[in-house]
């Protein structure tokens, strides 16, 4: 195969940084995703701390209004697209092949491409801080304030282009996981035996595939308005800003479930393990997930109750919103029933999972309150909504992700974490979280609007704002305990056995950390919770590998294609010839990728 000029052979045993740049091992990519997302989570957290410092008391002058607008926009965008979504992707990457008994994902190079493209998107978005100011129109970027007439700098351009790049990364990853879960399952791993986390990831991937094109189109329209003077959201030409809201929330509401379903999957793995019981009502939990994903498409206008869509639209969306609480509630009762009469082990991951049920329920209840269109008119754009979103995203998605990090820590690091520090970290985190976000219910009901950089003392919002600000610094301290525990345990924790939790799913049947090929022998699955059943029947004898395991080899091209996209994105904002150069690099990368030899003689 020498016809294609760029047919460079694959890297053989790369070392040092090239080892990471060319890796296509799903476990390494999972760790890259997780570490990168965690760093971005800290950046988003610092942005939140700056905002809370400014709001600590009335008429503070710490941060000016322009910077404040940039901070809340970047905080929201970072936390949703650069922290929680990629943390979910980290779990998908690491766990899905292990849980379904596969040696890798269906498209290992595409997987590497997803990660590098995600990193490119993160770089583009955060580069805006240093290149004339970050985006400042909120994470939802409502028209017309994102239009050229009201927003002259490059901030919104960075926002548009980075979200497009992140969309490519998410779509590529979602295609990959869909194919992996459908096509790479071990013999006997039917859909009715699939671990719940993998099931929820599967549903999430389908949501991603269908929801992201919608925001892609919305962003394309906004981009054409800004770059080429089209009229999509220009009111003087008849354009309608409400169209942006519709497109954004048709994406945005499924996005909410993209953020929470993986968390529900994680919790559904932790609770049965430490209750020594199978998950209560497995088919119902799965079905609820499917119904949530389906109905998630019918509720978007509840973000728009105050737009004035009319009583019929408001009533319909109020009803669908109330209805979607039912499958969510069903899941909560399933988790409670899993705990019921279980023999509970209250270690750190279990505490996070139970904490998830508590805080997510609070967030879910305030969510149902918003479904009442009439009362929502009072809550819209107040701190009550801020409280709600943080109870479901922070007290829902993030708390489950942290629990998941502890739960699978022995698996991916090969070491045990410090249990005392873990529990201390959890309790301080849980208390600090509630100190931070619960008072926002009060300030919100007292009428404090979101996205204001300061307020007057006569409103009486000072006290609870101060409590929230104290809470966020306690939260930072709790996160430092978490980071210290993870880092120090990763470096010199006790060696972890293959199955420290006496757990249920296939990833615990292989050594910690797993070998590059995952399974020496591809398992044959006979039950749901197969590993548990095998342990019960004493069928866990070590099988010896035949020795000849074919693994996909590392590749340069995913990295090259992502670099091309990064250059093209900057070119789109500043200089079209540079964009053409970036596209050319991408094209060359795609061709070289397509013609890359599959197997090199070693």
593 binds another protein (CB under 8 A): yes
* Half-sphere CA count of 123, side-chain side, radius 13 A: 13
Q: Which stretch binds another protein (CB under 8 A): 170-178, 449-457, 469-477, 494-502?
A: 170-178
Min dist. Cβ of residue 297 to another protein (A): 11
Residue 278 or 552 having the CB closest to another protein: 552
Q: Which of residues 562-591 bind another protein (CB under 8 A)?
A: 591
Binder among 15, 59, 236, 343 for another protein (CB under 8 A): 236
Binder among 25, 221, 269, 529 for another protein (CB under 8 A): 221
Q: Which stretch binds another protein (CB under 8 A): 36-44, 237-245, 308-316, 325-333?
A: 237-245
What gap in Å lies between CA 264 and CA 274, rounded to an integer? 16
Closest to 578 in 3D by CA, of 587, 567, 586: 567
Q: How many CB atoms lie within 10 A of CB 594?
A: 9
Strand partners for 495: 415
For the chain, the farthest-separated pair of C-alpha atoms sits apart, in whole angstroms, at: 77
Binder among 423, 552, 581, 583 for another protein (CB under 8 A): 552
405 binds another protein (CB under 8 A): no
293 binds another protein (CB under 8 A): no
Residue 17 or 237 having the CB closest to another protein: 237
Min dist. Cβ of residue 230 to another protein (A): 4
Binder among 60, 210, 336, 578 for another protein (CB under 8 A): 210
217 binds another protein (CB under 8 A): yes
Contact 259, 85 (CB under 8 A): yes
Contact 474, 432 (CB under 8 A): yes
3-state helix, strand, coil in the chain (%, to 5): 70, 0, 30
Is 102 strand, coil or helix?
Answer: coil
183 binds another protein (CB under 8 A): yes
Closest to 441 in 3D by CA, of 362, 375, 512, 533: 362
Min dist. Cβ of residue 116 to another protein (A): 16
- The runs of H, that is alpha helices, within 229-296 are 241-275, 282-295
Residue 480 or 551 having the CB closest to another protein: 551
Min dist. Cβ of residue 235 to another protein (A): 10
C-alpha distances in Å from residue 413, one per residue of 100, 136, 337, 351, 488? 20, 39, 32, 21, 11
Q: Which of residues 56-115 bind another protein (CB under 8 A)?
A: 106-110
Min dist. Cβ of residue 548 to another protein (A): 15
Residue 10 or 154 having the CB closest to another protein: 10
Q: Which of residues 241-270 bind another protein (CB under 8 A)?
A: 243, 247, 250
Residues that bind another protein (rule: CB under 8 A) add up to a total of 49
Min dist. Cβ of residue 38 to another protein (A): 29
Q: In sequence order, which residues have a C-beta less than 8 Å from that of residue 452 and are 6 or more positions away?
A: none
Min dist. Cβ of residue 110 to another protein (A): 7
Binder among 84, 171, 389, 503 for another protein (CB under 8 A): 171
Contact 424, 477 (CB under 8 A): no
Contact 226, 148 (CB under 8 A): yes
Closest to 584 in 3D by CA, of 559, 602, 601, 567: 567
Q: Which stretch binds another protein (CB under 8 A): 41-49, 222-230, 299-307, 360-368?
A: 222-230
Closest to 212 in 3D by CA, of 167, 163, 272, 259: 167
Binder among 53, 57, 58, 230 for another protein (CB under 8 A): 230
Q: Which stretch binds another protein (CB under 8 A): 70-78, 116-124, 134-142, 593-601?
A: 593-601
DSSP single-letter state for residue 22: S
Q: In sequence order, which residues have a C-beta less than 8 Å from that of residue 309 and are 6 or more positions away?
A: 301
557 binds another protein (CB under 8 A): no
Binder among 577, 594, 601, 602 for another protein (CB under 8 A): 594
514 binds another protein (CB under 8 A): no
Q: In sequence order, which residues have a C-beta less than 8 Å from that of residue 438 and are 6 or more positions away?
A: 387
DSSP single-letter state for residue 380: T
3 binds another protein (CB under 8 A): yes
What gap in Å lies between CA 356 and CA 401, rounded to an integer? 10
Token digits of residue 166: 């992140």
Binder among 62, 145, 178, 322 for another protein (CB under 8 A): 178
Residue 542 gets the label, from left (phi > 0), alpha (psi -120 to 50) or beta, of beta
Binder among 214, 279, 486, 585 for another protein (CB under 8 A): 214
Q: Which residues bind another protein (CB under 8 A)?
A: 3, 106-110, 171, 174-176, 178-179, 182-185, 189, 209-214, 216-218, 220-221, 224, 228-232, 236-240, 243, 247, 250, 552, 591, 593-596, 598
């Amino acid at each position: 195969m020498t016809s294609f000029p760029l047919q460079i052979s694959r890297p053989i045993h790369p070392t040092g940084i090239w080892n990471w740049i060319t890796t296509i091992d799903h476990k390494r990519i999972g760790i890259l995703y997780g570490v990168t997302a965690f760093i971005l989570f800290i950046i988003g957290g610092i942005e939140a701390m700056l905002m809370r410092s400014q709001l600590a008391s009335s008429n503070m002058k710490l941060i000016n209004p322009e910077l404040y607008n940039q901070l809340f926009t970047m905080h929201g965008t970072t936390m949703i697209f650069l922290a929680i979504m990629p943390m979910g992707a980290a779990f998908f990457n690491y766990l899905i092949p292990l849980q379904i008994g596969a040696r890798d994902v269906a498209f290992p190079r595409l997987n590497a491409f997803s990660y590098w493209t995600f990193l490119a998107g993160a770089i583009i978005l955060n580069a805006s801080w240093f290149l004339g100011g970050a985006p400042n129109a909120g994470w939802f970027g409502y028209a017309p304030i994102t239009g050229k007439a009201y927003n002259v700098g490059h901030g919104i351009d960075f926002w548009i282009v980075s979200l497009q790049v992140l969309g490519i990364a998410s779509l590529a990853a979602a295609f990959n996981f869909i194919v992996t879960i459908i096509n790479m399952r071990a013999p006997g791993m039917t859909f009715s035996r699939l671990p719940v986390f993998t099931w929820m990831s599967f549903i999430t991937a389908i949501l991603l595939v269908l929801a992201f094109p919608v925001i892609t189109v919305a962003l394309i329209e906004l981009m054409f308005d800004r770059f080429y003077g089209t009229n999509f959201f220009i009111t003087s030409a008849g354009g309608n800003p409400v169209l942006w809201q519709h497109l954004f929330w048709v994406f945005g509401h499924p996005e909410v479930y993209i953020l929470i379903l993986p968390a529900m999957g994680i919790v559904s793995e932790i609770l049965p393990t430490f209750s020594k019981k199978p998950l209560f009502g497995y088919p119902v939990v799965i079905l609820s997930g499917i119904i949530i994903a389906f109905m998630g498409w019918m509720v978007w206008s509840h973000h728009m109750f105050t737009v004035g869509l009319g009583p019929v639209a408001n009533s319909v969306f109020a009803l669908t919103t109330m209805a979607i609480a039912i499958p969510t509630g069903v899941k909560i009762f399933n988790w409670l029933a899993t705990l019921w009469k279980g023999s509970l082990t209250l270690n750190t991951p279990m505490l996070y999972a139970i904490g998830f049920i508590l805080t997510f329920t609070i967030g879910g209840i305030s969510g149902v309150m918003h479904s009442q269109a009439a009362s929502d008119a009072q809550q819209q754009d107040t701190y009550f909504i801020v409280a709600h979103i943080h109870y479901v995203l922070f007290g829902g998605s993030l708390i489950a992700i942290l629990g998941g990090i502890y739960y699978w820590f022995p698996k991916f690091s090969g070491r045990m974490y410090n249990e005392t520090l873990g529990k201390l970290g959890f309790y301080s985190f849980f208390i600090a979280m509630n100190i931070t976000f619960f008072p926002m219910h009060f300030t919100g009901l007292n009428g404090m609007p979101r996205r204001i950089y300061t307020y007057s003392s006569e409103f009486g919002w000072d006290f609870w704002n101060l409590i929230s600000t104290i809470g966020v610094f306690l939260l930072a301290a709790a996160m430092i305990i978490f980071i210290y525990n993870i880092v120090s345990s990763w470096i010199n924790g006790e060696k972890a056995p293959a199955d420290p939790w006496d757990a249920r799913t296939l990833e615990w049947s292989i050594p910690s950390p797993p070998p590059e090929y995952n399974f020496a022998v591809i398992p044959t699955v006979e039950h749901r919770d197969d590993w548990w059943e095998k342990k019960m029947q004493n069928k866990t004898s070590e099988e010896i590998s035949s020795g000849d395991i074919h693994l996909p080899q590392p590749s340069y091209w995913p990295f090259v294609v992502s670099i091309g996209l990064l250059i093209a994105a900057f070119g789109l904002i500043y200089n079209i010839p540079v964009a053409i150069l970036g596209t050319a690099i991408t094209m060359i990368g795609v061709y070289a990728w397509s013609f890359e030899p599959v197997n090199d003689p070693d």
